[in-house]
Chains A and B, each alone.
Chain A
Amino acid sequence: MKKFIKQGLQTVDSPYQEDGEKRSLMNKLLLGLSPSEYLLQAFRNPFNWILGLIFVIGIPILLGRFVFGLAWATSGSNDYPWGLFLGFGLFAMVPLSSSGFQLGTACEIFGRHDLEPIERLALLNGLLGYFFMVVSFGPAAVLFLVAWHVSTYLSVQILEVSTAFFEWIGFPAGKRGVRRITLGLTVSGIILSTLHQGALGALFTYAPGKVHPLWYSSSFQWLHFFVSSLPGGLCMVIAVSTIAAKTMNWRGDGRFHANLDKITVSLAKGACMGLATYITIKLIAIAHDNKWSYLDSGWGQWFMLEIILGFMLPLVLMTYGVNTRKMAIVRLGAFATVFGVVLNRVNTAIITFNWKLPHREIPPWREVLISITIFAIYIVVYRFILYRLPILYRWRAEEAPEVVTETEAVRSGAPIGHASTAPIASYSNMTKLD
């Protein structure tokens, strides 16, 4: 992509081409390239080769599940009925996708419009995480609550993200309709998120004898899951935006790149508060049921490793990074948090589950491969959307000619990011709630 831009390719960010001609849908889909150019850039990307390899092996196995049955594709364990698919796909991806409702809340409810450049990324991150969870889960008291909340929330998120799609496809009426109900959507997003993030934790209160006591708390399990999902989601947005800013630099506009560091600091501050709260309530839970003696065991050491590497270390890293404005350290902390949240969920659902049974089960290779394949599809769809829809950049409306952008930037002398937002004010008004 970089090469084409160097050669003078104009990235798709408005309904019109340079010569004023309206872009066709095909043109938008191919990122403004000709089909052969598009294929060329796809082949040039080494990451596509890795993905290709995963799909060549993974897709047949995925299909095999429907031909030969679950017993063939998974360990088919009666002791671990939820296996790797759900342990990772459901319990780890959902907290990392809490970003949607959090940034929605910050922007729409608290009026933090300075966070807007990343709001759509956060919403998309939320949507895709849930979508893949539901797809890999298929159809399935508390689980009922999870099911209907997640499906309702999925439609809420589709609506929230749809504004970007309507802009891209050129359907302003749809966008206006959705904007009108944004407050309602955001509030229902908060409710549904609170409940189903908590409910995922509450699912484990059915198994007090199977989840290890250090990962279990009858009173606080839902709070542990809910609170840890908050920094998890925020840090996932930091992680994804970091990766996106590096690997698809061309796609972000000036506004995105100029504001990214500032927004990352804001998100990291929020994540730090979440982490500190989470560590506190985790310790309170241990004290509440007086489980200190468990710390002095193999499981206890594993637990401390999780808390220290996955939660305390990122808290220290991000606090230090935010105070000294060392962005690399903030981002490292964010990646560590994502790791910590995933480890916590996998620990609860798989690794320490059934701790009383004498033997541990290692998932068979087919199950591992299917999980990797689904995760790879998730990345491909994620990238497909980021390349196209106005998530990292602003869709320039018809009434905002380019010339104005440049003169405005020169005249005001403001940072580029700010300048490029200014002239599109007519359109950005619409993205605000009021």
Chain B
Amino acid sequence: MKRRNFLKACVIGGATITLGKTNKGWAAGSFEGYPDAMGVLVDTTRCIGCRSCEAACNKEQQLAPPAESFEDKSVFQEERRPDSTHYTVVNEFEKKEPQGPVYRKVQCNHCNEPACLTSCFVNAYTKTKEGAVIYNSKVCVGCRNCMIACPFNVPGYSYESVTNPVVKKCILCYDTRLKVGKPPACVEICPQEALTFGHRADLVKLAHERIRMNPESYYDHVYGEKELGGTSWLYLSRTSFDKIGFDTTMGNEPIISNVKEFLGMVPMVLSIWPALFSGIHLLSKGKHDEQGEHHDTTQEDR
């Protein structure tokens, strides 16, 4: 009877394991973004560095007024990054080139598999089906892990707030515009049509089309199409991307791929260690009883 029960349990257990193991797996590596995800294509060859997108963003998101006006071009002297009062900034590159400088707008790229979302342990981040990566400050505990994790150095922290500092970053105007089908404020205001809003899939096609039509004025690459698993914001440039402040060494694997090895090890330690060390304790106890206090002096505690 006992044996029969044992075999039965084996069969049932085996079946559960086989059937229970679907092909779902973790999203990393294969997830290419939501089908209806929106995005923005930035054609840096069209940007003239007018900073009107910065002004529009400031107004739309009701951010603190800036120290210098949005017409002030002196800000281009140094490379800036987005922070808690500037969700987007424009930087100037290739300043001494005969064709003139290249301007590059920086904001959250709204990754398909956001590192900030992966690293957040209170799930403050959400990747919406529209493609925006939004953030819920109510559950945020201020650990700033997302700022460490973001490969584009985007999220800022409102250090200046005494009682309730929170993470701040571009949300693709999700609350006020994207949700109702309107393009983000920066796209709408751009006088050069350097920014194009649309379905990400269409924008990828459009970007390649522009390169094909004008191969001499574009560098043959769409930044953000595959980088780190792909981003909702895509960039075109006339020079190689490392010259205009992009990190081109990151590869196409999303950040979560780096962390999976450790996370996979965790349940193993949790399940193996108790038996292993209790067993060792039992073994060394038996030895003790027979051989008294004699024990090798090497350290065995690892």
Contacts and interface: CB of A to CB of B under 8 A. Distances in A.
Contact of A142 (B119, B147, B151): B119
Contacts of A356: 247
B273 interface: yes
A106 B121 contact: no
Contact of B278 (A81, A112, A183, A434): A183
A141 interface: yes
A70 B143 contact: no
A84 B153 CA distance: 19
Contacts of A210: 148, 151
Interface size bracket, A side:
35 or more
B273 A141 contact: no
Nearest to B120: A141
Contacts of A103: 301
Nearest to A109: B281
Contacts of B100: none
Contact of A79 (B81, B145, B302): B81
Judged by DSSP, the binding face of A is helix
A244 interface: no
B6 interface: no
B77 interface: no
B262 A199 contact: yes
B208 to A, nearest CB: 26
Interface residues of B, number: 60
A433 B282 CA distance: 11
B148 to A, nearest CB: 5
B250 interface: yes
Contacts of B302: 102, 230, 270, 273-274
B273 A109 contact: no
Interface in B231-261: 247, 249-250, 255, 257-259, 261
A269 B273 contact: no
Interface in B255-284: 255, 257-259, 261-263, 265-266, 269-270, 273-274, 277-278, 280-281, 284
Contact of A208 (B83, B250, B287, B288): B250
Interface of A: 66-71, 74, 76, 78-79, 81-82, 102-103, 105-106, 108-114, 139-145, 147, 183, 186-188, 190-191, 194-195, 198-199, 201-210, 218-219, 221-222, 230, 234, 266-267, 269-271, 273-274, 356, 358, 433-434
Nearest 3 interchain pairs by C-beta: A270-B299, A144-B121, A76-B159
